[in-house]
């Protein structure tokens, strides 16, 4: 396989691609206190620094929970903050509250000021306004923002040694940083400037990455210490498109980013067998690396499911977990899974399975033993 993305260095500057955007706006915020669901959170994290993530719906909230538990699992000493939109269901908020130190509802629509007007003109930028809100977390001196579709593979607290605005290059356009993981300093002044900037200049990509690259437009040239190594944004998609680099550097991966339209929560998981059930993929939907996908589901079923079960109580919810009954039929969440009725997969060796994956023939029903896969993952985790 050849170098697909690394051989090409574009010349255009990001800020050359601006369009229009709504006027200055400020979303309203309600902070939810959920102290009863957490134990010892004060003892656990004595820090004025925080990891911050964002979920505007229940699916992304699940991703945020897995991300939060992956940070906890690797013993972060930082606080965890989730920004959520008003549409996240109550039990999901409670579940987030038991994993995160702070859950903030950011309601752009409800704010009754310019933010509302801005949103009427550009409804597509609603999520961007919600994300920019992270700059108002001024009770922290420094934060690291992480997308809800990322997963941490080791302790990454060392990121807090970096300055605003540090981020990893976007492999699709390496002179732009990727806004999925970035270091920033909360500041109401910066927040207002960002909103004003957005009002004047807009977002060249219709989202936060465009706004942030235009605003922090010296990132590509001014200070190389603000360039995070690519291991902080290892995407399944780029693993796949540059496999030799993954084989060389993959063991150092610290953050996995599940890119593309199909997210881990679009699959389902058989916890008994330790198998991820396939989502019928078309080639343009991208390929998620089976090992990382499995790691996500293991963490979900072990550390997130119990929290969700407690939050939902008797109320049924879409867990994504499947169970087989005596007659071999899947009980839950399988209506959209064509593989469920397919004949049982044949056993294939890890090596064969890997070769198939590398050749683009991904067997999500793969029958590798749980122990083997776990050993392999352990080797990634050092």
Ligand X SMILES: *[C@@H]1O[C@H](CO)[C@@H](O)[C@H](O)[C@H]1NC(C)=O
Of residues 262 through 321, those in contact with ligand X by CB under 6 A are 262-263, 265-266
Longest Cα–Cα distance of the chain, Å, equals 64
Nearest residue (CB) to Mn ion, 55 versus 373: 55
Residue of the chain from 50, 54, 99, 165 that contacts ligand X (CB under 6 A): 54
Residues present in the chain in total? 382
Residue of the chain from 94, 170, 208, 270 that contacts ligand X (CB under 6 A): 170
Of residues 108 through 167, those in contact with Mn ion by CB under 5 A are 147, 149
Residue of the chain from 122, 257, 277, 353 that contacts ligand X (CB under 6 A): 257
Cα dihedral 117, 121, 124, 127, rounded to 10, equals -10
Residue of the chain from 25, 53, 233, 319 that contacts ligand X (CB under 6 A): 233
Site track for Mn ion across 164-183, x = CB under 5 A: ----------------x---
- Residue 56 as a binder of ligand X (CB under 6 A): the answer is yes
Nearest residue (CB) to ligand X, 312 versus 350: 312
Tokens found for residue 111: 């704010």
Mention every residue, 6+ apart, whose C-beta is less than 8 A from residue 310.
95, 98
Nearest residue (CB) to ligand X, 101 versus 170: 170
- Residue 250 as a binder of ligand X (CB under 6 A): the answer is no
**Binding site partner of 152, from Mn ion, ligand X, none, Cβ cut-off 5-8 A by kind:** none
- Residue 238 as a binder of ligand X (CB under 6 A): the answer is yes
Task: Report the candidate in 340, 365, 337 with the shortest Cα–Cα distance to residue 279.
Answer: 337
> DSSP per residue over 236-282, as a string?
HHHHHHTHHHHHHHGGG--EEE--SS--GGGSEEETTTTEEEP----
Is residue 25 reached through a cis peptide bond, with omega within 30 degrees of 0 on the bond before it?
A: no
Cα dihedral 71, 304, 89, 104, rounded to 10, equals -20
Nearest residue (CB) to Mn ion, 58 versus 149: 149
Residues 234 and 171: beta-carbon distance below 8 Å: no
- Residue 74 as a binder of ligand X (CB under 6 A): the answer is yes
| Residues contributing to the site for Mn ion (CB under 5 A) | 147, 149, 180
């Amino acid at each position: 396989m050849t170098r697909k993305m690394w051989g090409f260095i574009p010349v255009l500057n990001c800020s050359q691609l601006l369009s229009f955007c709504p006027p200055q706006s400020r979303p309203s915020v309600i902070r939810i206190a959920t102290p009863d669901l957490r134990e010892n959170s004060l003892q656990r994290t004595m820090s004025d620094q925080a990891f911050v993530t964002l979920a505007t719906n229940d699916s992304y909230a699940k991703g945020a929970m897995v991300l939060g538990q992956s940070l906890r699992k690797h013993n972060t000493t930082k606080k965890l903050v989730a920004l959520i939109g008003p549409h996240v269901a109550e039990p999901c908020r409670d579940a987030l509250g038991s994993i995160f130190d702070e859950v903030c509802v950011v309601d752009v629509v409800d704010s009754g000021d310019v933010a509302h007007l801005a949103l009427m003109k550009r409804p597509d930028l609603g999520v961007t306004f919600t994300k920019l809100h992270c700059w108002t977390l001024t009770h922290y001196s420094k934060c690291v923002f992480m997308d809800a579709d990322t997963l941490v593979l080791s302790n990454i607290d060392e990121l807090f040694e970096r300055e605003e605005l540090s981020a990893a290059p976007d492999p699709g356009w390496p002179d732009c940083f990727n806004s999925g993981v970035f270091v920033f300093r909360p500041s109401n002044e910066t927040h207002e400037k960002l909103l004003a900037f957005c009002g004047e200049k807009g977002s060249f990509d219709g989202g936060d990455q465009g706004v942030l690259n235009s605003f922090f437009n010296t990132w590509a040239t001014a200070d190389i210490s603000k360039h995070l190594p690519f291991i902080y944004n290892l995407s399944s998609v780029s693993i796949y498109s540059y496999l030799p680099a993954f084989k060389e550097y993959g063991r150092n991966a610290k953050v996995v980013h599940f890119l593309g339209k199909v997210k881990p929560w679009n699959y389902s998981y058989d916890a008994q067998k330790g198998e991820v059930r396939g989502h019928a993929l078309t080639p343009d939907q991208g390929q998620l690396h089976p090992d990382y996908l499995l790691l996500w589901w293991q963490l979900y079923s072990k550390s997130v499911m119990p929290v969700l079960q407690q939050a939902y109580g008797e109320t049924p919810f879409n867990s994504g977990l499947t169970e087989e009954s005596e007659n071999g039929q899947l009980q839950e969440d399988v209506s959209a899974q064509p593989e469920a009725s397919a004949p049982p997969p044949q056993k294939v060796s890890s090596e064969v399975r890997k070769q198939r994956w590398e050749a683009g023939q991904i067997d999500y029903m793969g029958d590798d033993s749980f122990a083997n896969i776990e050993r392999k993952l352990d080797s990634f985790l050092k």
